[in-house]
Structure 1
Amino acid sequence: MRLGRFIGGAVLAACVSFGALAAPPPGHAGNPVFPGWYADPEAAIFDSAYWIYPTTSLPYAQQNHFDAFSSPDLVHWTKHADVLSMRDIPWAKKALWAPALVKKDGKYYFFFAANDIQNDKEVGGIGVAVADKPDGPFKDLIGKPLIGAFHNGAQPIDQFVFRDDDGTYYMIYGGWKHANIVKLKPDFTGVEPMADGTVFKEITPAPEYVEGPLMFKRNGKYYFMWSEGGWTGPDYSVAYAVGDSVTGPFRRVGKVLQQDPKIATGAGHHSLFHVAKDDSWYIVYHRHPLGDTNGNHRETSIDELHFAADGSILPVKMTRDGVEAKSL
């Protein structure tokens, strides 16, 4: 049992964590970083604060809203409850998950997956909401899914929004072992053709790809990360590839995050914090407590991410202590 941590001046309820029994050293966040079952964390830095927007990891019937968490230092986290709710998305009926957040022109845009559609006859897919503040309240932007159908075999879920150096916003998304990239309209109300006329371009990086894509650029190279394995099982993991353009082709390098039988299992569906002032990187991900076989019991954790001299990502050391405090 991990004791509640002081967050926003109040002690949050304790949560069960079979793999995290000892208190972290002073000045460390400890993993999980906040109590509760939360998964698919989206990491963002807004207005000199760290933000995490996770999936509420409950059975689909109860997965009907999103909470957010903010921190000045990666250690002390404040919960912002119900920043986006199904009641504010007229077309969403079940299963909200996998947030992606972007700040643009003074507005905050919240991309999400809803309804877990299985074919093009069902209503659902990837939506977008907007707010004036990072803690919401967010409201549905267009009254329908932004992407509501299958293209190139990709289930419309698990979106990530990437801003390239020229200011163009792309969305990388897809489940069912297929990944697509689309170019977003500047107002995020739809998608538009890329330079070659393609709208939905498949960029599945490797046969092992399953879901949870993420992209960033470092030293002129595009890094494409994703999750492999089954999200309810112990072998869920994160791998990556590298390419020379936003659309690839990408060369799979290998896994960088996977279970540690001494710490936790099922580590995946991640995001990243990048602190530009000293080029430090942190991986934010969910994992299953040791000994717990309930697939929905996922906790959000943060550990350091490091690069080798050649630009390759070093294997992540999963910890119970978490990261040290770092102010922005």
Structure 2
Amino acid sequence: MMKIKSGFLHVALTLCTTTLFAQPARTYTNPLPVEFGDPYVLQTKGGRYYMYGTGAGAKNGFAAYSSSDLVNWKDEGQVYYASNKNGWSDSTAAWNGAYWAPEVYEHNGRFYMFYSAQWKVNPGKDLENFKIGVAISDRPTGPFIDLHNKPVFDPGYPVIDANVLFDKSGKMYLYYSRCCYKHAVESEVATWAKQKGWFDFIEESWVYGVELKPDFSGVIGEPVLLLRPPVKMSDKQADWESRSVTSKEVNRRWTEGSVAFKKGNTYYMMYSANYFGGKNYAVGYATAKSPLGPFTKAANNPVLQKNVEQGGVVTGTGHNSITYSPNGKEMLCVYHARTSATGDQRVVFIDRMRILKDGKLVVDGPKTTPQALPGGVK
């Protein structure tokens, strides 16, 4: 009898162990173990994913991670160095050269990285002398070399957060954020803050768009203003987009981190508002019928924001990018945030997002509970 029982137990344990190892977890949990700000995910034509962002230990440049499933990421090390032969930035300037928000696109068999940094040509000795550059590589893991020894263009003010739309028309459009620096703007919020004795003036960042030259050597025409913070406090967007000011956090209102895409006949532009280093950083979107607008902000904004008031642990949700599941059926929102456990460190979240039949954009996040793996993950 004992032998039979032992044999049965042995078989049962063997089956259980085999099952455990044969069936890996079918869920994942945010945040991912990647310490990036401004995360951007590229899905190559070969199907593999590459993530780029601000930070992650990169010195004077950018690092990357790769993945086959959007959940398990391999550290690919630093892929761009400012000291490359065509480098145009100043690594000794404020914020260690401000190497921020890289985005990489696969185009005509090569890979192009758009990013922002401090330009070494700075006759006015401005603290914020950010410009946008583009670097090229034959591989998504670099090394990326600047196409030219200067920025893509100089609009006459500091710019960050480059995003490129490859339109079906064959044209390419560059979107960017004009920085708040030296950009004091009159508005009812600014008047209100001054009357309260909080701030003498309020600076703002605005999102612009402009057509890119086919070889990325410059722009075509003049930039077009697409998005800015509300002027009137009665504006339905004013409450959530002004929290940095109304909470007495800082004398700036941001409109930055834009990402554009097209669904059907509609162009969508997601953007982030409020102080990027604070808890109120949040994401909204606007829609248009052409790449350069006019864009109309959505009534259901913000679509992604902190959840601590609802008992959650997430704050500072923002600067997102968009990718798709391996089977192409799910749209995913990739963004950085902070949690009560990570403190000031920005970490990566990936949550599902949807475009409803009425055109409304919805992000199912921020989530910190287990959720199903992206569709098509084997």
Deviates more, 1:103-112 or 1:275-284: 275-284
Higher relative contact order (CA 8 A, sep 6+): 1
Q: Could you tell me which residue of structure 1 aligns to residue 324 of structure 2?
A: 274
The answer on whether the counterparts of 2:229 and 2:255 sit within 8 Å (CA) in structure 1 is: no
Q: Could you tell me which residue of structure 1 aligns to residue 87 of structure 2?
A: 90
Q: Could you tell me which residue of structure 1 aligns to residue 74 of structure 2?
A: 78
The answer on whether the counterparts of 1:120 and 1:149 sit within 8 Å (CA) in structure 2 is: no
> 1:283: how far off?
0.3
Distance 1:276 1:31, change over 3 A: closer
The answer on whether the counterparts of 1:271 and 1:284 sit within 8 Å (CA) in structure 2 is: yes
The answer on whether the counterparts of 2:206 and 2:229 sit within 8 Å (CA) in structure 1 is: no
* Aligned equivalents of 2:25, 2:327: Cα separation in 1: 24
* Aligned equivalents of 1:162, 1:149: Cα separation in 2: 19
Q: SS at 1:203's partner residue?
A: strand
**What code does the residue aligned with 1:257 have?**
L
The answer on whether the counterparts of 2:314 and 2:337 sit within 8 Å (CA) in structure 1 is: yes
**Percent identity (aligned):** 31
Q: Show CA shifts across 1:2-53 (max 9, x none).
A: xxxxxxxxxxxxxxxxxxxxxxx92233222224x31101121112112211
* Bigger Rg over Cα: 2
Q: What runs of 5+ residues in structure 1 fail to find an aligned partner?
A: 1-24, 194-198
Deviates more, 1:272-281 or 1:86-95: 272-281
> 1:293: how far off?
5.0
> 1:65: how far off?
2.1
> 1:259: how far off?
0.6
Q: SS at 2:83's partner residue?
A: helix
Q: Could you tell me which residue of structure 1 aligns to residue 210 of structure 2?
A: 182
Q: What runs of 5+ residues in structure 2 fail to find an aligned partner?
A: 1-23, 92-96, 181-204, 231-240, 242-253
* Aligned equivalents of 1:230, 1:97: Cα separation in 2: 16
**What code does the residue aligned with 2:143 have?**
P
**What code does the residue aligned with 2:39 have?**
P
> 1:165: how far off?
1.1
The answer on whether the counterparts of 2:54 and 2:102 sit within 8 Å (CA) in structure 1 is: yes
When normalised by structure 1's length, the TM-score is: 0.81
Deviates more, 1:309-318 or 1:265-274: 309-318
**What code does the residue aligned with 2:207 have?**
A
Q: Could you tell me which residue of structure 2 aligns to residue 201 of structure 1?
A: 224
* Aligned equivalents of 2:123, 2:313: Cα separation in 1: 41
Q: Could you tell me which residue of structure 1 aligns to residue 142 of structure 2?
A: 136
Q: Could you tell me which residue of structure 2 aligns to residue 112 of structure 1?
A: 115
The answer on whether the counterparts of 1:266 and 1:288 sit within 8 Å (CA) in structure 2 is: yes
The answer on whether the counterparts of 1:215 and 1:223 sit within 8 Å (CA) in structure 2 is: yes
Which structure carries more helix by proportion?
2
* Aligned equivalents of 1:80, 1:291: Cα separation in 2: 26
> 1:104: how far off?
1.2
Q: Could you tell me which residue of structure 2 aligns to residue 41 of structure 1?
A: 39
Please list, as runs of the form range in 1=range in 2, the aligned pairs for 1:178-327 lying within 5 A after superposition: 178-193=206-221, 199-204=222-227, 206-207=229-230, 208=241, 210-253=255-298, 254-261=301-308, 262-275=312-325, 278-290=328-340, 294=344, 297-320=345-368, 321=370, 324-327=373-376
* Aligned equivalents of 1:323, 1:169: Cα separation in 2: 35
Distance 1:148 1:63, change over 3 A: farther
When normalised by structure 2's length, the TM-score is: 0.71
**What code does the residue aligned with 1:289 have?**
T
RMSD: 2.4
Aligned length: 290
* Aligned equivalents of 1:130, 1:276: Cα separation in 2: 26
Q: Show CA shifts across 1:257-296 (max 9, x none).
A: 00111131000000001349553100000001216653xx
* Aligned equivalents of 1:248, 1:263: Cα separation in 2: 36
The answer on whether the counterparts of 1:213 and 1:224 sit within 8 Å (CA) in structure 2 is: yes
2:174 is matched with which residue: 161, 165, 171? 171
